[in-house]
Amino acid sequence: MTQDELKALVGQAALAYVVPGSIVGVGTGSTVNCFIDALATMKDQIRGAVSSSVKSTERLQALGIPVFDANEVESIPVYIDGADEIDHSGCMVKGGGAALTREKIVADLAERFICIADESKLVPVMGRFPLPVEVIPMAAAQVARRFAATYGGTGTVREGVVTDNGNLILDVRGLQITDPLAMEAEVNQWPGVVTVGIFGRHKAKVCLLGTPQGVKTLA
């Protein structure tokens, strides 16, 4: 099976977690695009979606799924999104698509985060994938220096990328994220950091992993 077929498989499997009559939280990325396409087949059974990026909003609307502003919504039963890395406790690294801040906001509205990914994303220790951090532009160099001094990681600004919020993404290489909750809490306090791409406080309750043998569920 190709990686695209595995993504389509988990995108389809995630429909089982959609609560009829509800507003669905929708993430960003190529795996979520498969989910959005699948969600369109049951659009008459849901009220609509809250989206985590301009790209996902455009895809949802093109398929006729109403998109609600996050400010209009108090709580949603599920948020469905991909990840760049997942550890065995359900903590994730996210932000490969630069949407991490809005993703964390929508995840925070949700009772359950359902992560969809191919099984290559499951790792014993996160950090091989460069950790995305959304930063206020004037703080990029300072935050990179602080990563080097605190964790020994090397941060570089992602070229040609401005987030939906008008900020930059710093990709930090060379980390071993052995304590995701502690690193998330620490980095989020540094001046100029908007959001760090560690999802520890908002970790996945359920992971649907695409494998050649079918969908493996970790809960």
Nearest residue to 77 via CA among 35, 47, 97: 47
Q: In what order do the strands lie in the sheet with 198-199?
A: 85-86, 92-93, 198-199
CB 42 to ligand 5RP: min, Å: 21
Angle between helices 180-187 and 140-151 (to 10 degrees): 140
Which CB sits closer to ligand 5RP, 83 or 144? 83
**Strands, E assignment, 21-153:** 23-26, 48-51, 67-68, 76-81, 85-86, 92-93, 110-118, 131-135
Q: Does residue 200 bind ligand 5RP (CB under 6 A)? A: no
Q: In the set 11, 48, 90, 96, which binds ligand 5RP (CB under 6 A)?
A: 96
Q: Does residue 180 bind ligand 5RP (CB under 6 A)? A: no
CB 21 to ligand 5RP: min, Å: 26
Active-site residues, by number, are 103
Largest CA distance in the chain: 52
Q: Does residue 94 bind ligand 5RP (CB under 6 A)? A: yes
Q: Does residue 150 bind ligand 5RP (CB under 6 A)? A: no
Q: Does residue 82 bind ligand 5RP (CB under 6 A)? A: yes
**First vs last Cα of the chain: how many Å apart?**
24
Q: Does residue 97 bind ligand 5RP (CB under 6 A)? A: yes
Strands 110-118 and 206-211, bridge-based pairing: parallel
Q: Does residue 90 bind ligand 5RP (CB under 6 A)? A: no
Q: Does residue 84 bind ligand 5RP (CB under 6 A)? A: yes
What are the residues binding ligand 5RP (CB under 6 A)?
Answer: 27-31, 81-84, 94-100, 103
